[in-house]
Structure 1
């Protein structure tokens, strides 16, 4: 019963965090990017280009394009990802539809348009990247180019942010051939379109860098060596409460020549403080070292994504 309750609470937390990430993402577009006629990557970027050219709301384009792409997510990335992504697409569509009506235009003009397009590009890109990164870390996505990037990342050891960056470059360049109007209703000149593309490159660079920064931080792992006479109790607590494997190593103190046991634990960086408090509660005199590791592959961590070489005949 308790395990089922914990599972429900964990799922609820994931859905709430996805919604919060998408709120930050949409606010970046609604407050900073769309009011400044900026074009970014992803389906939101496509929606922005269509909006500038035809006046069709971003929410409509966003929903229609993602509806087609969701079938791919369900097939390749699994039903769990598909359910969360359907949820994310619906939430994002509703936010794109109603946030512009909720946020006063005076606030948008004061915050998003009064400090220049470059600052708006950087802030909007960081907010978009943070929102996407948070959604992806909880198993969701804003769909679109995220789906393509995650499918490739599932089978290849390629950065999610860099993959999204490559795809989004083509979307931004497409704004050169599509008629676009400024906020006053005047058609953009070629020089103004080149400026839009330049800002678009800055935007997707900020967004992809923020995605990588967030995801690498959330997945970062640490290796802990624990020296304590109470190692059996510490090992039992880590295994039962943290659900992390513990290895017991034989050691010898060079100065004392005494035999001892050393615990080796690999965990997520976010779990480090919990483990430290646990150790301190059991043995305040314990000696330990903790260091960041470049990568951890296997059960409970990341999967190995490189293909094994085939033996030559």
Structure 2
């Protein structure tokens, strides 16, 4: 019967794309990884990886069994989180990394309950976006994160979507001449400086001749937009709360829906306080059923 460590090696190898990369990620030798995969193939009676090319690729059976393995690992992760919530001890400090695409009133709704439940825990809230936020969680700097859904996450990271999406829209200062005359097409936006999100650890935008400015925070972009420096895509809740003087641009496809996901590392499971907070936020974010 395959054990959890073997299944983790299998899932990591499928994600990393090579046994050598898997070895580096898990801190093991490449021969250990190869032997682990070979033994798993013997136990299951199927070939999981095609080794004919330079890099091993999943076989048809491997792709099917990978989904099953990930379900087992997720079930184990849920088991560990539930067990952690039942333990008497708790973590002395809980760090949460939040994206401004996530409306913070969902955290505010449970903070008073959290303070009563865990009065001695130090709670730290960090603001970051996309790659920066993911790196905080992946490195262990933050225990739990809330980020706009990404196409892919690092190996070992668990994600769970929040049930209520948020909205993003395009905004321009009301005092801007084009806002007063009215923008009717995306082509008109091309004549105005774009203010874009650019994270510290993400890919840097190419040269734009000054036609595109960037910042790693939506709040900074909001302030730049208020100053009339250009247009920006911003979270609607942020504009409602802090964006005096901004107007939305009524272009096709906007506003757009944004799914926010809670993320944490399987290698560093949430403790009792983190588990409680995540459950409370998910419950607070769930729309009430109509009576």
TM-score by length of structure 1 reads: 0.24
TM-score by length of structure 2 reads: 0.25
Higher fraction of strand: 2
Structure number with the bigger relative contact order (C-alpha 8 A, sep ≥ 6) is 2
Higher fraction of helix: 1
Q: Which has the larger radius of gyration?
A: 1
